[in-house]
Amino acid sequence: MTALDSIFSAFRIRWARLRGASVGSDCSLGPGVRFQRGIRDGQVGRITVGTRCSLDCGAILSAWGGQINLRANVFVGPYVVMYGHGGIEVGDHTLISMHCRILSSNHAIPPLGTDIRSQPDELRPTKICRDVWLGAGVTVLGGVTIGDGCIVGAGAVVTKDLPAGAIAYGIPATIRGWRDGVLQR
């Protein structure tokens, strides 16, 4: 990062803090990073970014009255979108590649003849544990837990929990292998 980039990042961090986000020390925020706390049922959303995190250009963290919590040393690539209605937790040392989408809610499905849009969101907390790598364009659906040390291949759609050390890819994401050192399941 150049000296000028550092100056602009420091300005963006101050601006995020003034708008109510909690941003830890030694972080960097790229151009166009947006924090949107929002209000849901009278509750103001919370966005917490731990120390040494890096959020690249165009990343959007939108709590919608819920919460988004990034632990220490998390990398968020360009144009990642997180919707924290139901709560999102991202563990230490996690890599989230460009254009990923992380959700924490879903729409209720009413009978035909009742507008879907008129139904409330179903809140589904999402947890991404420590040392996880999400490849480019991964979608993580609400209510999923991705265990420590998982690797999720580019373009995958994670619809179910993944155990620690799993290597998964595809639509829906399917376990295809294990990281070295993980006992085979």
The predicted structure's pLDDT at residue 171: 98
Locate tokens 């049922």: which residue? Answer: 41
Write down the pTM of the prediction. 0.94
- Using one digit for the tens of pLDDT, what is the confidence trace for 39-67? 998 999 999 999 999 999 999 999 999 99
Give the residue from 147, 145, 141, 138 showing the smallest Cα distance to 122.
141
Q: Which of 85, 93, 99, 107 is catalytic?
A: 107
Which residues lie below 8 Å from residue 118, measured CB to CB, with a gap of 6+? 110
C-alpha triplet 168, 179, 135: angle, nearest 5°: 40
- Catalytic residue status for 85: no
Beta bridge partners of 29: 55
State the pLDDT at residue 120.
87
Collapse the DSSP code of 16 into the 3-class scheme (helix H, G, I; strand E, B; otherwise coil) and give the result.
Answer: helix
> From CA 132, how far away is CA 152, in angstroms rounded?
8
User: What is the distance between the alpha carbons of residues 64 and 83, in angstroms, rounded to a whole number?
Assistant: 7
Do residues 98 and 77 lie in contact, with contact meaning Cβ atoms separated by under 8 Å? yes
Tokens 């209720």 found at:
108
Tens of pLDDT, residues 77-114: 999 999 999 999 999 999 999 999 999 999 888 899 99
Which one of 2.160.10.10, 1.10.3720.10, 3.30.200.20, 3.30.450.20 gives the CATH number of domain 3-178? Answer: 2.160.10.10
